[in-house]
Amino acid sequence: MNRRNFVKRSMLGMIPLLFPAKVFSIFAHHENKYFIHGVASGDPTIDAVIIWTHINAVNSGECNVEWQVANDAAFKNIIKRGLITTSQERDYTVKVDVAGLESNAVYFYRFIYKETISDIGICKTLPISLLNALKIAVISCNNYEDGYFTSFRHIADNPEIDYVFHLGDYIYEYGTGQYCNKEFLEESNRLNDPLHELISLADYRKRYALYRKDKELQKAHRTKSFICIWDDHELANNAYFGGAKNHQSNEGSWSDRSAAAVQAYFEWMPVRAKSTSEMIRSIKIGKDANFFFLEERLDGRDKQLLSNDPQKLSTQRKMISKKQFDHLSEELKGSDARWNFLVNQVMFTGYKSKKEESIKEEDWWTGYPYQRDQLIEVFEGLKNPPIILTGDHHQSHVLELNSPDASTKNKLVAWEFLTPSITSKNDDRLTSEQIAKKSKLLYKLNPHMIYNDVAAHGYFILNVTKKQISISYKFNEDILLRDSKERQGPDFIIDNSNKLKKNV
């Protein structure tokens, strides 16, 4: 459809009549040749949201795509519409920043290309303040070759979840069989595309396209607005500003590879950002809650060192750039919100897993002790301890962060909640006896550890109100089964007195 026909149809009001209400099921997925990667929304504000799709139209030159936003699933009341052009230059992805919306409101959106309609997506703008509870699914680490993405379906089917925070490792860069459950891979034939490790822009684009064909991931994107940050595997394992553990000299320049990875991310993910610095952002909901999204890979991180390297203690070493650190520090100190959250990629608090720890490369915040201690000082000066929401680790942990200062020893300065992986491997291949033994040892070695589950997969739901927050763990019964159900994990509550309670 060209622009002239689009304008003509819009003026005649014909668009709603072409698609009668009876054909719509807002949770249904409809196969068609142009929209095989579904639709998505993300980065909502109080008056705007990003809507996304991809046109399966290789070598078609420029494609004119119509988009519509309505108050109803039947699109009888279309409030926003437009035409956007995509091409090979952006891998035929479509991204629209829809502004002028009402706060805390649900909208329906769709795309039209060559008279073919996409699935109907549902999005929701942010509230101005917390008149009602805010419920967010916090997730990370979905590895295609490690299991089925069943938890995304569970998230999609939960009407109480308002938004999804994805904390990174949305894709994995490895070649087929390099990082996977080999038994599952053989039985499911769920293979990466491309089969080799991701290096070029074409490689990263293909991997996103593969993931976005997954029907359960599509359903979550179709029904919930995502707010995302990347971690290392969208780039390469243990990435830092100047390289990555999984980047070798025979794989070309790191700057070219990381630029390709970032370009593919911006094309395929429903984010508003167009640069690394714009991924560092915040959500502020009145005086109730602030969420600060950190970027801990490309903004300024120094190379990871071995745990026994004396240079690890250098005052020059950074996890994040000084600019990002100063901005975060100022925002936290100036915040008048009751609840402050750090949306964070890698573990901040840390813990011991063995009596005698082995020497290893430290990718956590604990590998950058000077800057970590600086941030703890900021936490100590706040009226209320912040809450750190963390991905990456693949396991479920609840940790109390205490002051390292001897004069204020055991003073609580923050809590950290680690979400398990959607599928990426943890200790799920140990026997139940081995899992129980390890869990018991972790409690013994770490008095600050409130909870651990080293083998479950899933996510948690963050429920924020004016007077309290709660974290409710949701576990997938078996990621190796397509129809796996969900089981309830423990709940944790922090009230206005800053006391943490556990409900099993």
Q: List residues bridging with 81 in a β-sheet.
A: 68
Together in a domain, 88 and 155: no
DSSP code per residue over 58-105: TT--SEEEEEEEESSTT-SSEEEEEEEEE-GGGTTEEEEEEESPPTT-
Beta strand segments in 246-319, E: 281-285, 289-293
* Lowest mean per-residue pLDDT among 54-58, 402-406, 436-440: 402-406
Together in a domain, 209 and 250: yes
pLDDT in tens, 36-61: 999 999 999 999 999 999 999 877 78
**Residue 129 falls inside a structural domain:** no
pLDDT in tens, 188-237: 999 999 999 999 999 999 999 999 999 999 999 999 999 999 999 999 99
- The last residue of one of the domains, among 104, 124, 144, is 124
Q: Which residue stretches of 312-462 are H helix? A: 322-334, 369-380, 432-445
Together in a domain, 9 and 153: no
For residues 465 and 455, give the distance between their C-alpha atoms in angstroms, rounded to a whole number. Answer: 30
pLDDT in tens, 412-435: 999 999 999 999 999 999 999 999
Q: Say what the pLDDT of residue 404 is.
A: 84
Q: If 0-12 CB within 10 Å is exposed, 13-18 middle and 19+ buried, where does residue 303 land? A: middle
Together in a domain, 41 and 176: no
Q: List residues bridging with 373 in a β-sheet.
A: none
Nearest to 144 by CA among 107, 103, 179: 179
Together in a domain, 400 and 469: yes
pLDDT in tens, 334-386: 999 999 999 999 999 999 998 888 889 999 999 999 999 999 999 999 999 99
Contact predicate 424/151, CB 8 Å:
no
- The last residue of one of the domains, among 94, 124, 154, is 124
Percentage with pLDDT > 90 across the chain: 88
Q: The pTM is what?
A: 0.93
Q: Say what the pLDDT of residue 9 is.
A: 46
Q: List residues bridging with 292 in a β-sheet.
A: 282, 342
DSSP code per residue over 300-316: SPPPP-BTT-GGGG-TT
- The last residue of one of the domains, among 124, 158, 191, is 124
Element (H, E) at 206: helix 201-211
Q: CA-based Rg of the chain, rounded to a whole angstrom?
A: 23
Residue 72: which CATH number?
Answer: 2.60.40.380
**The amino acid at 432:** S
Q: How confident is the model at residue 3 (pLDDT cuts 50, 70, 90)?
A: very low
For residues 123 and 107, give the distance between their C-alpha atoms in angstroms, rounded to a whole number. Answer: 5
Tell whether the model's pLDDT for residue 15 goes beyond 60. Answer: no
Q: Which residues contact 67 (CB under 8 A, 6 or more apart)?
A: 51, 81, 82, 83, 84, 94, 96, 98, 109, 110, 111, 112
Q: How confident is the model at residue 185 (pLDDT cuts 50, 70, 90)?
A: very high
Q: Which residue stretches of 335-470 are H helix? A: 369-380, 432-445
Domain count, the chain: 2
Stated length of the chain: 504
**Crossing angle between the packed helical segments 254-268 and 201-211, to the nearest 10 degrees:** 30
pLDDT in tens, 71-96: 999 999 999 999 999 999 999 999 99
Strand 486-495, strand 468-476: pairing: antiparallel
Tokens of 334: 């100036």
Considering the chain, what is the average pLDDT of its residues? 93
Contact predicate 108/72, CB 8 Å:
yes
Together in a domain, 281 and 210: yes
Peptide bond into 159 cis (omega under 30): no
Q: Which residues contact 399 (CB under 8 A, 6 or more apart)?
A: 349, 351, 415, 416, 417, 418, 446, 448, 449, 450
pLDDT in tens, 233-285: 999 999 999 999 999 999 999 999 999 999 999 999 999 999 999 999 999 99
Tokens of 59: 């070598």
Q: How confident is the model at residue 22 (pLDDT cuts 50, 70, 90)?
A: very low
Tell whether the model's pLDDT for residue 26 goes beyond 80. Answer: no
Together in a domain, 107 and 213: no
Q: Residue 482: which domain range?
A: 134-503
Together in a domain, 111 and 254: no
Q: Say what the pLDDT of residue 232 is.
A: 98
Tokens of 257: 């590879």
Q: How far is CA 138 from the centre of its chain?
A: 7
